[in-house]
Amino acid sequence: MLERLNQALDHLEASLDREVDIAEVARVAGVSEYHLRRLFSALAGMPLPVYVRRRRMTLAGAEVLAGELTLLDVAVRYGYGSGEAFARAFRSVHGIGPGEARRTGAVLTAQPRMSFRLVVEGSTAMRYRIVEKESFRVIGRKARVPLVHEGVNAAADAHVRSLDGQAVVRMKQLAGQEPSGLLSAVVYLGDSREEGVEADYWVGVVTAPGTAAEGLDALDVPAGTWAVFDNHGPYPSALQDLWRDVFTQWFPSNRYTSRPGPELLRTRPVETGAETDSQLWIPIERSAGV
C-alpha cells in the first residue's frame, strides 16, 4: 500500500499547477478518498488539503522570489483566479504577502515533498480479529471534545465524570451486544486528525436497532466490517500508541482501508498510568481490487 501511496503523491506533485483532484489521487493510491484523507493525516500529521496548499505555496514562493513572472502570472499558474486569493493563500503559509516578499527578498517557509516508508520496530505485537457486524445503535450521552494525542483528554474525562449514576445504570441495563458493557465512541467531524480538532465523543452501550431510552441520545450505525484490536498497557498512553500504530503500521501492511463510522473503545477505567485491558473497534473495508 505504501508504494501506491507514494505513487499517488507523485501524481499529486505533478498536479500542483492546477486544481488537484483528490478523488483521482485516491484512485492512483487504490483506496477510497475517505481512507486516503485519514491515512495521510495519520502518517503526515496534517490534513491532505493543508499539505497541498503548503507544497503549492512552496513552489509559488520560489517563483515569486525569482522575479521572472509577474505576481498575477504566478497566481494563475498555481490555480488562483485573482491576485487577492493568491495573496491570502501565500500569506497563510509564509506570513507575508507575495509583493512584499519580492520587494524585500524575504525568508519564506518551505514544505518539503513527502514520501512514506514503513518502519517496523517489532516492539509490540498487534493482536486483532476481523468482525462482520449487523447494524446496531449506541445509546448514551455525547459531547463535543478536542482531540488529544498524548495524555489525558480533559474534556472527555469531564464528560465521563458528568454522567449521573442513574443514567449509567440505564445504559448498562440496555447493553446486549458486542462490544459489551459501557464503552466510548468517537465520531469525527472532518478529515483532520490534528491535535485540537473537534469530534463527537459518546459514552454509552451497544444495543439493537430501534432501542430507545428517555433522556439518552442515540447513534445508529449501519452493518459493516470491523477490525478489533486487543490492548494491554498503561492508561491512556498505550491506547494512544495503539491508535497511531493502527494507522501508520497496520493499515499500510494489510488489505483493508478505513471507512466512515464511529471508532469504539471498551476499556476499564483506571488511574492515569495504571495498566488496563482495552479493546478498540475500527470500521474497515477491503481495499479496492482485493
Q: Which pLDDT score, from 0 to 100, does residue 189 have?
A: 85
Runs of H (alpha helix) within the chain: 2-13, 22-29, 33-44, 48-66, 71-77, 83-94, 98-104, 154-162, 165-174, 237-245
Q: Which pLDDT score, from 0 to 100, does residue 115 have?
A: 81
Which CATH code, of 4.10.520.10, 1.10.260.40, 3.40.50.10800, 1.10.10.60, is assigned to 2-104? 1.10.10.60
Query: pLDDT class for 124, splitting at 50, 70, 90?
Result: low
Q: Which pLDDT score, from 0 to 100, does residue 288 have?
A: 65
Rounded to whole angstroms, how far apart are CA atoms 191 and 188? 8
Residues 170-220 pLDDT 10s? 999 999 889 989 999 999 887 777 778 899 999 999 999 999 888 899 999
Residue of 88, 94, 97 whose CA lies nearest to 107: 94
Q: Which pLDDT score, from 0 to 100, does residue 88 have?
A: 92
- The topology (CATH level 3) of 127-286 is Multidrug-efflux Transporter 1 Regulator Bmrr; Chain A (3.20.80)
Q: Which pLDDT score, from 0 to 100, does residue 43 have?
A: 81
User: For residue 228, which amino acid is it?
Assistant: V
- The domain spans of the chain are 2-104, 127-286
DSSP one-letter code for 247? I
What residues contact 125, with CB distance under 8 A and at least 6 apart? Answer: none
Residues 100-116 pLDDT 10s? 999 988 889 888 888 87
Q: Which of 38-47, 141-150, 160-169 has the lowest mean pLDDT?
A: 38-47
Mean pLDDT value across the chain:
88
Rounded to whole angstroms, how far apart are CA atoms 101 and 78? 17
